[in-house]
Amino acid sequence: MIVLAGTIGAGKTSLTKLLSRHLNSQPFFESVDDNPILPLFYKDPQKYGFLLQIYFLNRRLDEIKGSFDNDLNVLDRSIFEDSLLFKLNADLGRATHTESDIYTSLLDNMMEELPDERHQKAPNLLIHIQVSFETMLNRIKKRGRSFEQVDTDPSLFNYYKELNARYQKWYDEYDLSPKMVINGDQYDFVEDSTAAAEVLQLIDHKLEELNLK
């Protein structure tokens, strides 16, 4: 499969839609609007952080298994990012480090349990959408989810800033599959159809390089 990576507001869902249509493959989307735990997490991250990560883990494993039938299926978030997100919550006191360690161990064990007879467990390609902190904040504000807004909860400003900073280090160290980066500030594929076409062309070239297209 192809997986998208990037911070909140990077444009993962938008690019997943564009790319799956372009490749005539199936998109798999992160559960947000129908996620019953996410709004509770933003109100009380210490209480609901671990439960939220287990919810996401369960959904992402289903998505990985569901994507096995086509190497060009597109997932709008990588399961490998979740430890980064939960470790940040622990470092900021929004979860405990014990919970973070248990989650990472559980993730590793669950990945080992995935069937590997038909498909590799790591993606065929990871695409990281890199955006500036300013773009991240603008996108979060524009999409308007009340529980994500800095105006409603000023403590989210530092959380978002640290999250965006850590993503670059995470991408630099990621070595489980081929990868590429899309500059989300340079290519505003969400609003600009020309930029969207250019991004799809960049991805096509990478897929051809990997003999996937």
Active site residues: 76
Is 9 annotated in a binding site? The answer is: yes
Backbone angles phi, psi at 126, to 5 degrees: -105, 130
DSSP state of 212: -
Token duo for residue 86: 């939960």
User: Which alpha helices (H) appear in 44-126, and where do they start and end?
Assistant: 45-66, 82-91, 97-113
Is 118 annotated in a binding site? The answer is: no
Backbone angles phi, psi at 95, to 5 degrees: -160, 175
Is 139 annotated in a binding site? The answer is: yes
Cα 6 from Cα 17, distance rounded (Å): 15
Nearest residue to 82 (alpha-carbon basis) of 68, 99, 69, 65: 99
Q: Whose structure tokens read 């990012």?
A: 81
Is 140 annotated in a binding site? The answer is: yes
Is 96 annotated in a binding site? The answer is: no
Strand arrangement, sheet containing 2-5: 27-28, 74-75, 2-5, 125-130, 179-183
Is 191 annotated in a binding site? The answer is: no
Is 127 annotated in a binding site? The answer is: no
Identify how many contiguous H helices and E strands the chain contains and give both numbers: 8, 5
DSSP state of 147: G
Is 192 annotated in a binding site? The answer is: no
Is 66 annotated in a binding site? The answer is: no
Is 14 annotated in a binding site? The answer is: yes
Is 6 annotated in a binding site? The answer is: yes
- Binding site listing for ATP: 6-14, 139-143
- Binding site listing: 6-14, 30, 42, 53, 77, 82, 139-143, 148
- Binding site listing for substrate: 30, 42, 53, 77, 82, 148
